[in-house]
Structure 1
């Protein structure tokens, strides 16, 4: 099954793919990924990798926010626009 997830920023997909393999290695699944391939991994295994990736990305974002002493105006506008778009999609508009 092809990967339908697309990175928001061009060029980020290759970095995310490398990150996925790094996380798989950290949690002891790298050998299975290499021998069986992603398509033969269980949902639980792939979910573990995705969950750990999310946890690490949130930690990185928190660290960056702490270093910059808050949220930038651009990030705040983007988050507001994303929330508004999600609300419109949920309402069927």
Structure 2
């Protein structure tokens, strides 16, 4: 019996998909990843490079969330 795996990687706010895609392309460009990804097909990009893009996306999102929290709390005292 073959089981189908369901992807847990999904965008919770569908309207954010375009923004997340743009963010991904910005990160790839900043990292100097092979520009073949611009066609929308990432199959020719190495797993290491794809992982680097995802890792930098997460780091940037965490940094922005931390800055937002700092502004809400009025900064450290």
Answer yes or no: same fold by TM over 0.5.
Answer: yes
Moved over 2 A (4+): 34-37
Q: Distance in 2 between matches of 1:30 and 1:63?
A: 31
Work out whether residues 20 and 49 of structure 1, in 8 Å CA contact, stay in contact via their aligned partners in 2.
yes
Kindly indicate whether residue 51 of structure 2 is the aligned counterpart of residue 50 of structure 1. Answer: no
Equivalenced residues, count: 68
Residues 1-93 of structure 1: pairs in structure 2 closer than 5 A = 5-29=9-33, 31-34=35-38, 37-69=41-73
CA deviations on 1:17-67 (whole Å, 9 max, x unpaired) are: 000000000000151323693122111000000000000000000000111
**Which has the larger share of helix?**
1
User: What secondary structure, in the 3-state scheme, does the structure 1 residue paired with 2:32 have?
Assistant: coil
RMSD: 2.3
Structure 1 residues not aligned, in runs of 5+: 71-93
Q: Distance in 1 between matches of 2:39 and 2:28?
A: 13
Work out whether residues 21 and 30 of structure 1, in 8 Å CA contact, stay in contact via their aligned partners in 2.
no
**Bigger relative contact order, structure 1 or 2 (CA pairs below 8 A, ≥6 apart):** 2
